[in-house]
Structure 1
Amino acid sequence: MRITELLKKDSVSLGVKVDSKDAAINYLVDLHARVGNITDKAVFKEGIVKREEGGSTAIGEGIAIPHAKNKAVTKAGLAAMTVPEGVDYDSLDGQPTNLIFMIAAPEGGSDVHLEVLSRLSMLLIDEDFRKELLASKNVDEFLKVCDKYEAAKFPEEFAKDEQRADDKATDGQKADAAGSEGTGKQNKDAAGSKAPAYKVLAVTACPTGIAHTYMAAEALEKEGKKLGIPVKAETNGSGGAKNILTDEEIASCDGIIVAADKNVETARFDGKPVLFVKVADGIHKPAELIQKIESGEVPVHHEKGAAKTYSKADGSIGSRIYKHLMNGVSHMLPFVIGGGILTALAFLIDTLCGYGATGGSSFGSCTPLSAFFKYAGGLAMGIMVPVLAGFIAESIADRPGLAVGFLGGLLASSGNAAIAGYTWANDGLSGFQNFIAKFGFTGPAGGNTVSGFLGGIVAGFLAGYIVLLLRKLCDRLPQSLEGIKPTLIYPVVGMFVTAVLMIFIFNPLIGVVNTGLSNMLSALAEKNLLIVLGLILGGMMAVDMGGPINKAAYVYGTMVLGTASELLAAGVSLTDPAVQACYISMAAVMVGGMVPPLGIALACIFFPKKFTKAERNSTVSNIVMGCGFITEGAIPFAAADPGHVIPCTFIGAAVAGALSAAFRCTLMAPHGGLFVFATVGHPLMYIVSWLVGSAVTCILLGLIKKPVQE
């Protein structure tokens, strides 16, 4: 289907003035409604906005291609507008957008919108095409420009239309145009002329698999033509791999460019020079990449088997670690956001029902409705560490690493203490069994053995590389055993080794650290060093966000609440310094835990270039989680960039904790954030402490965090 078959005269508007991204979306949605492409503007817009939340469709160079496929669409169609003055559409290059195409596709239809989207992406890489569209004086001229460039780029589509056949070039000209201008889809068979010998091959892929994938492919092929170096690019888009490189082409080429921000299959390139770059480099530096391949300076790629390989940036150790980490974080994020907000709703419900000051340890589940939300949210939050570890391992070792990583994450989040309640078959244990019982399965008396999300990161990398090692070792096994590798050898051996290392090394070591921290906190409280205690407690809440250090501070806070209750039951006054010290400690704990999500959300607002689009999209949810004392909202940011994020959150939370203690703010509830401020002593100064700490985190992130490349 051609672009001009979907783009009607009444769905094009030129010289439009809009002042925002939302206004531009509304305008284009109205154009679709005008020509009858959609029946419900609100539902269709919801689909457009949802897609934008996953990453802006403004792909740079003044172009945006929003698209949606949902039930509001009655027939596939296009709408287009030019905005001469430009509009801020959250473009990846930060520049105003002045040319916007919006694609609508019916829910039950084919992936026609992806096909059209790929065509548009390839056409729009041509600067002349963009200039002519923007210079069009009327809609008819605009449509003719689309027709002209599409006919030159995709002559095979026009050859199918008999009415256009006589107006187009001869068959020989079409074949020549397809071979030189196309994306390589015109693979000629043996009956035709000899296929071109591609000197440079390329594979392009981006996380969403839409615009950047095709733009990089088009830019590389077009630049190859200018340089006189035939280039063929395979696209790994959302509709699957297209224009796939053949074994013959790989064998005869000078080298391969892998312009990708996600894993692609590279085992087939073993023994050939392979240049790994970001997909954006394929768009903006095509000549440089092609010339580098031809220079002979690109190292030969060596890889056996079909495991996933490293395809981000230059393949350095740092970029590999980052890619694996981000794979885990991106899969963990929905659990953190969904579970955190459900849990916050539980505290809000109990507060509205009057249990803010009297709920005690049951706060958040004092009513059936709040208990429901807390239960569901708690389950979601509980699985986030296994998901993090599982998908880190999956990124390293492909699917065989997933199950092993999940187990490692479960061990990190559950610890060893759960096994301490087992009744041993023989109490007279000795030798190795005694070692296992005493060292590995230490119970609550032996210290906390939960390693939390930091342990989950360790478990993910541990599991991934264990399975990767197993795959290399199993390469030597007979072919007849190939079937039992993924179903028996990898999971059994991988889980065993991961469990041994987590249970006997990582969990106990972190447990020792937590025990020492708890003892230190008790000593500070006894010396009445409340400001110092507030600073330390607040800072600890932001070191590992839900991990063992965070939990050590929180357990201490809830413990002193119990101490305060015992003192009050014994007749001690509420204003007694000992009682107040307990409530001041709990206040410092909670305000410290509220700082990281809010501080990061503020940084996303004031320093957007420091964060990815996906991270900026979590701003609202982080504000909500900050208000609800859901520190885990900051975990994806800390996991993605621990060297910059954790120091900033630590300092901001420590400042908030110290200020809270200095202002003698007290808290009688163990959880709830903003929703339990009715139980806070000196609430105004408590809010000041929270906001100041969050501002410190925000400013520090703006100063030390590096801008991201999207």
Structure 2
Amino acid sequence: MKFTDILTEENIILNLRAESQEEAIDEMVERLKKNRMTTDSESFKKAVMKRENEISTAVGYSVAIPHAKDHSIEKPSIIFGRTLKGINYGGQHTNLVFMIAAPENASDEHLELLSRLSTFLMNETFRAKLLVALTEKEIMEAVEEQESKNNVEEIDSHDKDKYLVGITACMTGIAHTYMAAEALREAARRRGMKVKIQTNGANGPENTLTGSDIKKADAIVLAHDVNVDVSQFEGKKYVDVPVKRAINHADELINKALSYDIKENETYVQEEKVEEEKEKTGLQFYKHIMSGVSYMIPFVVVGGIFIAISFMFGIFAADPASDEYNRFAHFFSQVGGEAAFALMVPILAGFIGYSIAGKLGLAPAMIGGMMANIGEAGFLGGMIAGFVGGFAAKYISQSMRKIPKSFQGLVSILIVPLLSTFIVGAFMFFILNAPMSALNRFLETWLTGLTGVNAALLGALLAGMMASDMGGPINKTASAFGLAMFAANIFEPSAALMVGGMVPPIGIALATTVFKNRFTIQEREAGKASYVLGASFITEGAIPFAAADPLRVIPANIIGAAVGGAICMALDISLRAPHGGIFVIPIASNSPFLYILCILIGSVITCCIIGFLKKPLSEEALKKGKEMSSIF
């Protein structure tokens, strides 16, 4: 649909008589009624005013776009009004007003019109032509010219109608997975490309790619921190990167994926540079670990919360020999401590092995993980067992490929599991368990002996690392240490880590509320969501702000988180659930009120630092920053 189909000279008011926003709306609705484009002008006006009361449709640049759907409108229409003197519209000086009237059952075409019109009006030359036009005909000519330019730009787009497919998957499957997918979708849409991104989230794969999708694809991007099944892409070259790379550099990745020209060359070409091979090896190592951790986390969370619930009945309530014994406390303790916690390390090891060698690596690696539990080698021992079991299974399997097919079934169900389990078992029993057990005892003694300044320094370090790159490698390193301590029944580091993860989004959200003149309307709206994300321990809510202003926001995040983490560990606050945010604090922390106070102190410090470092925006910057999507 073209604008010239629904904006005619009869719908143009060159000189609005209105002195206010409501008078302008009245005058334009009256023109709608006069041109018989509404069967009930009062009903349509109510719909427009309801929209204005939700959020003003003034979009900056001296432009407003009031709009509404209503049963009184039979077909889409646009009324254009201009006032050279200008009026106060939603608190902004406004000269150009486009009113869009759409039927109640209008399709997405209504939204598409708004989007296109918003894009047109960002063009300064186009706005100037509307302001200086002397006749209705000149207005129509300016609109036709601008629409023609935009259509030409779309047609000339080199990537128009090409098809991008991909998969995104992060460790927890909660935030980065969907942020990366949206970044790729948005970058592809700007190019006019068709796009389908499969998200391997916490609830399983969504928007799953089919064989037909992959066959039709012109470009493939995989952005993942955990292993994904790439067998379906066999014979095609694809971009393979960590999730955060897709969030921050989506256009660059699409360019690289398109450069492979996979429809012309279906054969996967190995990278030639040694540096790239090293980078790929390191990335695979990281993905194997994250795959194990992602499967382990539910066991950690469930185990921690169930044990915390058991303590609510009394410290010794789960012990049948105690006078405090309570059967329900025993139940929660057994499920959480004797079952879930006992499975943590074997699950970690097993799925590291699975990531390396598929099903063949699961059994030997999981058995190695159980031996790490038995030998008190802990989290780190289980991680090593996962790699030993996985690679043993992988290389034994590869070395037996030439065995006749009639014996291949025996290889996979007997020979590979037997030999690889022997290797990992012997390695754990004779080599690793003893030194790892000694190391764990040393760490436990050291950590439990930390008090005062030393505990505060460790808390500051862990929380600061969590806040530094919000889901990146530094954050993951701190998380891995916390999980290792958690597996060793030391719960104070977990508390400091969650402070470090919650402070950045909450602190930024506070800053957008307290220091409004430092942020655009778009950022203020995003700040509201950051309250919820921060309270839920989703640090990724801070990423858009950090990406937009890293030199101010990242230091503020680290300092606030470090202070909160330092206070937390100095007060010996523990947390028996390493995830869940505000929802687990009441039952999983030994001092819920003090713990929440630590988070608030850190958040306020982050907020104040941001407010101090960021300068107030100019009026022009505030207008420029107004999100065009707010008109929807």
Normalising by the residue count of structure 2, what TM-score does the alignment of the two structures yield?
0.50
Normalising by the residue count of structure 1, what TM-score does the alignment of the two structures yield?
0.45
Which has the bigger relative contact order, CA under 8 A and spacing at least 6? 2
